[in-house]
Structure 1
Amino acid sequence: LFDKLNGKELSYNNLVDVDAAVNLMEEFRDAPPTFAVLKHTNVCGLATRDTVFDAWTDALAGDNISAFGGILISNTAIDLQTAEAIDKLFYEVLIAPDFDGDALEFLSKKKKRILLRLKQYPSRKHVFKSLLNGVVHQDADRKKATPSDLKTVTKLAPTPEQVEDLLFAEIIAKHLKSNTISIVKNKQLIGMGCGQTSRVDALKQAIDKAHFFGFDTKGAVMASDAFFPFPDCVEIAHTDGIDAVIQPGGSIKDQLSIDYCDQHGMAMVMTGVRHFRH
């Protein structure tokens, strides 16, 4: 899958993080230049832009604190300009489909820095987990929502631009530990909350992060990896200026959230697929 071009031996934790990074970026293999930053398998920065340099810049801007010591991955070859910008950050691993010659020479000056050339994406069909002195397995979560999969359940339909952001946010939520909320604006992750025991807490964490890093959430969209049992999350989102939501649906109380959105001019779409990553 890889050519290791530089750096120390990959540790167990490195390999787990690399696996998470590659599974995430596979979702963007055919997208314009996209860059992601992960920490402890969770994506904390992600952006799609016209150039790899701009994608890196905006991915890092999503959370430049968590990025320290993280795993970086690009779906586009790394050029020298991007390499020089990346070099300002301490990170464990950088993964890309290729490196320009001068970029590779520059990045290889730090001998312990791990540089991986991704030759192909793994065709993961199953997920295995060791527990209770045994191993369980399940089918991998490979479902990727498309515009035709989205069911608009509110009176107001999302705009084409919002649909793009909603699908972007849904991919992020899919790759974060549940309970999770991702907030996206203009194909940039601007706030995320993950691993929370309450979906409300995940949303509050996501909003707090967005504000802390200087983002305006007005006009942003949000994704939830599972349904809303109550309308509290859409109420909080509306108060903060978020105006479109993507979620799987399936709660017996879905209508409460739908009604709130209708009353406050928000768009909501449902995918019918719950991710709920553990």
Structure 2
Amino acid sequence: WGKDGPSATNIEDGSHGMRIVRYFDEPAVAVMKHLNPSGVSVARKGEALSSVYARARDADPRAAFGGVVVLNRMVDKSTAEELSKTFVEVVYAPDYEESAITVFQAKKDTRIGKVPGSNHDQHPPDIVVLDDRSLILEDAYLTGIQSLEQLKQLPVATKRSPSETEYHALLHSWWVICEVRSNAVVFWKNDASLAIGTGQQDRIGAIESCIEKAHKFGHDLKGSVMASDGFLPKMDNVEAVAREGLTSIVQPGGSVEDQELVRACDQHGIAMIMTGERAFRHF
């Protein structure tokens, strides 16, 4: 492990990160902080794993400091060198090249863990122990939307349908949102998260947090998509993202104001898919 071994939070970060990267067939990286991702990216054709990691880190470089990094591919030397440029608490990956281990040995504060790839057929339950010693045994959550084809089968609520590029972005952002503490939203473009809003008590607060983060780190939201883990309850949700130039939304639907939201999306040229599936996480 290196150093003194991982903390409970480090281990939980690794578990939640594995839940994210297991969705992707391509190389993928999740940078985790306090059980939530601060950045996620998936490889473009021919892209080096070190670059995939750098894009996930730089989605929110401030939150990434002292985080846990989870990868779904073997770590090579160049990726280890990229990981070593900033302070990383723990790295989890299926395996490591010997040259990568040599790089990590020079980083006394970084722990590395070898973990097998997650099996989609195995869904251990979540267990919570309460103060009175009673237990909550909760079925593990795994979205029913496992492929692009399944996403395309869902109804498009708006006049405009997503483009092929938008469909891919919507799918990836939906997979990420499934492992973010509610209320949550994910902004996604060019195979990476631009901002992730976590744990807010109102939906618009999560959206506003994302917009603020994206602006802080120089991310252009124009042409991006948004995933929301719960329905959009009010018109201000759509108006806020329309001002930023977002082009597509994926969300469960189910608000009493759904039809008004759809009309607002049509007015702004935003495509919207309703999954009929909430992705609330309250771990």
TM over 0.5: yes
For Structure 1 versus Structure 2, the TM-score category normalised by the shorter chain is over 0.9
* 1:37 corresponds to 2:41: no
Within the candidate set 226, 230, 234, 1:226 is matched to 230
Greater displacement, 36-45 / 115-124: 115-124
Aligned to 1:99: 96
CA contact under 8 A between 2:84 and 2:107: conserved in structure 1? no
Aligned to 2:64: 67
CA contact under 8 A between 1:180 and 1:224: conserved in structure 2? yes
Change (3 A) 1:70 1:144: farther
Q: Which amino acid aligns with 1:135?
A: L
Q: % of aligned pairs identical?
A: 34
CA contact under 8 A between 2:22 and 2:117: conserved in structure 1? no
CA contact under 8 A between 1:25 and 1:75: conserved in structure 2? yes
Aligned to 1:76: 73
* 1:236 corresponds to 2:240: yes
Q: CA deviation at 1:10?
A: 2.1
Whole-angstrom CA distance in 2 between matches of 1:172 and 1:119: 20
Root-mean-square deviation (CA, aligned residues, Å) is 1.5
Q: Is there any run of 5+ residues in structure 1 with no aligned partner, and where?
A: none
Query: TM-score, normalised on structure 1?
Result: 0.93
Whole-angstrom CA distance in 1 between matches of 2:237 and 2:256: 16
Write out the 4+ residue segments of structure 1 that deviate beyond 6 Å after TM superposition. Answer: none
CA contact under 8 A between 1:78 and 1:99: conserved in structure 2? yes
Query: How many residue pairs end up in the alignment?
Result: 272
Query: TM-score, normalised on structure 2?
Result: 0.92
Whole-angstrom CA distance in 2 between matches of 1:131 and 1:250: 31
Aligned to 1:24: 20
Q: Which amino acid aligns with 1:116?
A: G
CA contact under 8 A between 2:9 and 2:35: conserved in structure 1? no
Whole-angstrom CA distance in 2 between matches of 1:211 and 1:262: 26
- Partner SS for 1:200: helix
- Partner SS for 2:215: helix
Whole-angstrom CA distance in 2 between matches of 1:179 and 1:226: 7
Whole-angstrom CA distance in 2 between matches of 1:212 and 1:271: 31
Q: CA deviation at 1:187?
A: 1.4
CA contact under 8 A between 2:32 and 2:69: conserved in structure 1? yes
Deviations 1:207-228 (A, max 9, x none): 1111111111000000100001
Q: Which amino acid aligns with 1:25?
A: V
Q: CA deviation at 1:161?
A: 0.6
Q: Is there any run of 5+ residues in structure 2 with no aligned partner, and where?
A: none
CA contact under 8 A between 2:31 and 2:37: conserved in structure 1? yes
- Partner SS for 1:218: coil
Q: Which amino acid aligns with 2:130?
A: L
Whole-angstrom CA distance in 2 between matches of 1:203 and 1:127: 28
- Partner SS for 2:64: coil
CA contact under 8 A between 1:39 and 1:71: conserved in structure 2? yes
Matches within 5 A, 1:204-219: 204-219=208-223
CA contact under 8 A between 1:8 and 1:113: conserved in structure 2? no
CA contact under 8 A between 1:77 and 1:97: conserved in structure 2? yes
Deviations 1:163-197 (A, max 9, x none): 11011111121111111111000111001111111
Change (3 A) 1:108 1:124: farther
CA contact under 8 A between 2:247 and 2:269: conserved in structure 1? yes
